[in-house]
Amino acid sequence: MECDELMRGFAAKAGLQEIKVEDGAAAVEIDGIQVSFLHDESDDAVTIYGEIGFPPPEANGPFGEVMLKANHLFNGTDGAVLCQNPETFAYVLFRKVSLLATDVETFCAQVGRLVDQVEGWKRMLEGFRDVAEAAEDAVEDTAAFDNISDSDSFMRV
């Protein structure tokens, strides 16, 4: 099946407006998630990807470790791949779908699975962000104790 035909079929089935495909690329919004499509003519496949977001700097390492573990044998990605966009530094989830063995129904299912995974990873990233902010708040709360002099202390030695 041709890439343009597949994407138009997907748009019709999903109840979206017509997808505008330019140079083998297109993008739509599904449930608040930007989903992009990129046709790779070299292996007659289309890559479907969605941006997860940006972790706070202090959570970058731990979140990246979770992502790497989830990528192992695709045990936490449902067959997709987690990575970081080298241009924007955003975390991204993508899957490649062969056009040779794909019909509109299968393609729609693949897109749906990717959107579900992106939503789950966004929630996880938000959890990391909440933990990082709580830790930062805790550090700020303890900073108030730095201004207490020995004479203000209830323990005088």
Q: What percent of the chain has pLDDT over 90?
A: 54
Tell me the pLDDT tens digit for each residue of 50-70: 999 998 787 788 888 999 999
| 151 part of a folded domain | no
| Domain coverage including residue 96 | 3-140
Which two tokens mark 107?
Answer: 């393609």
pTM listed for this prediction: 0.81
Indicate whether 62 belongs to any domain: yes
- The pair of three-digit structure tokens given for residue 123, joined into one six-digit string: 């929630």
Tell me the range of 68-72, 132-136, 137-141 where mean pLDDT is highest.
68-72
Q: What is the mean pLDDT of residues 69-90?
A: 93
pLDDT for 142: 52
Sequence-distant (≥ 6) Cβ neighbours of residue 155 within 8 angstroms: none
50 part of a folded domain: yes
Structural domain total, the chain: 1
Q: Looking at the domain assignment, is residue 76 inside a domain?
A: yes
The residues, ordered by sequence, that sit 6+ positions from 127 with a Cβ below 8 Å of its Cβ are none
111 is a domain residue: yes
Q: Is residue 43 situated within a structural domain?
A: yes
Residue 20 CA, distance from chain mean position: 23
Quick check: helix, strand or coil at residue 129?
A: helix
The verdict on residue 150 lying in a domain is no
Mean pLDDT, the chain, as a whole number?
85
For residue 83, give the CATH number of its domain: 3.30.1460.10
Higher pLDDT: 4 or 91? It is 91
Q: Please provide residue 32's backbone torsions phi and psi, each rounded to the nearest 5 degrees.
A: 80, 5
Query: 157 by DSSP, 3-state: which?
Result: coil
Residue 110 has pLDDT above 70, yes or no: yes
End-to-end CA distance of the chain: 83
Any domain includes 100: yes
In the block, tokens 């990082």 appear at: 132
